[in-house]
């Protein structure tokens, strides 16, 4: 009889232990798993509106959207005056525009240097002889472009329909060749 009671108590003890709540999760990152029960991931959020609807404020005045440049291959160059690779990329983009012409290719220099960078832009343009318009991107466009990396320059090449062909981060002779190849590819698409 003692053996039956001992086995019964052991089984009850084991069953009661198995019904306990799980141990607290162990953190392997400093990013929260959820905030207010909304799962968080490392995946960037999709843009809140289509890319062709995103706009920028032209330094010369007025706003422009990507869809305003439909029919042209578009190069969006995100830069700042304090960025040495941005400075190195400007002659390359000038040559690209001269080679393909403004009727086929539109290049927009989107300054992301912040308010403290804006007073320096006029002198920077005079010094670098930038041949394409300067603008300031809307917040959503900036968030979309820098969702994965914050390095500058970042260059986005879009085909005539506004579809992304290539995104380049930084500038080097190899990146310049990659940009040229992406522009040539986009120009060949109909």
Nearest to 156 by CA among 108, 101, 190: 108
Q: Is 25 left (phi over 0), alpha (psi -120 to 50) or beta?
A: beta
Architecture per CATH, domain 51-188, reads as 3-Layer(aba) Sandwich (3.40)
Query: Residue 105's CB: how many other CB atoms inside 10 A?
Result: 22
β-pair partners for 63: 57
Mean pLDDT of 180-185: 94
Q: Sorting pLDDT into bands at 50, 70 and 90, what band is 29?
A: very low
> 46-81, pLDDT tens digit by residue?
667 888 888 999 998 999 999 999 999 999 999 999
Quote the CA–CA distance of 57 and 72 in Å, as a whole number.
19
- The domains of the chain are located at 51-188
Flag whether the pTM goes above 0.85. Answer: no
Mean pLDDT across the chain? 85
State the pLDDT at residue 10: 80
């Amino acid at each position: 009889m003692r053996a039956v009671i001992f086995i019964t108590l052991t089984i009850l003890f084991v069953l009661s232990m198995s019904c306990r709540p799980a141990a607290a999760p162990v953190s392997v990152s400093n990013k929260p798993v959820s905030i207010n029960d909304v799962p968080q991931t490392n995946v960037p959020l999709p843009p809140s509106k289509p890319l062709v609807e995103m706009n920028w404020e032209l330094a010369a005045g007025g706003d422009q959207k990507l869809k305003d440049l439909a029919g042209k291959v578009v190069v969006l160059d995100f830069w700042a005056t304090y960025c040495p690779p941005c400075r190195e990329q400007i002659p390359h983009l000038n040559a690209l525009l001269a080679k393909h012409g403004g009727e086929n290719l539109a290049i927009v220099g989107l300054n992301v240097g912040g308010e403290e960078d804006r007073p320096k832009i006029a002198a920077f343009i005079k010094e670098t002889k930038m041949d394409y318009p300067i603008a300031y991107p809307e917040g959503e466009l900036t968030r979309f472009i820098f969702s994965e990396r914050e390095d500058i320059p970042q260059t986005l090449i879009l085909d005539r329909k506004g579809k992304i062909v290539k995104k380049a981060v930084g500038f080097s002779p190899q990146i310049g060749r990659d940009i040229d190849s992406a522009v040539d590819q986009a120009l060949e698409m109909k």
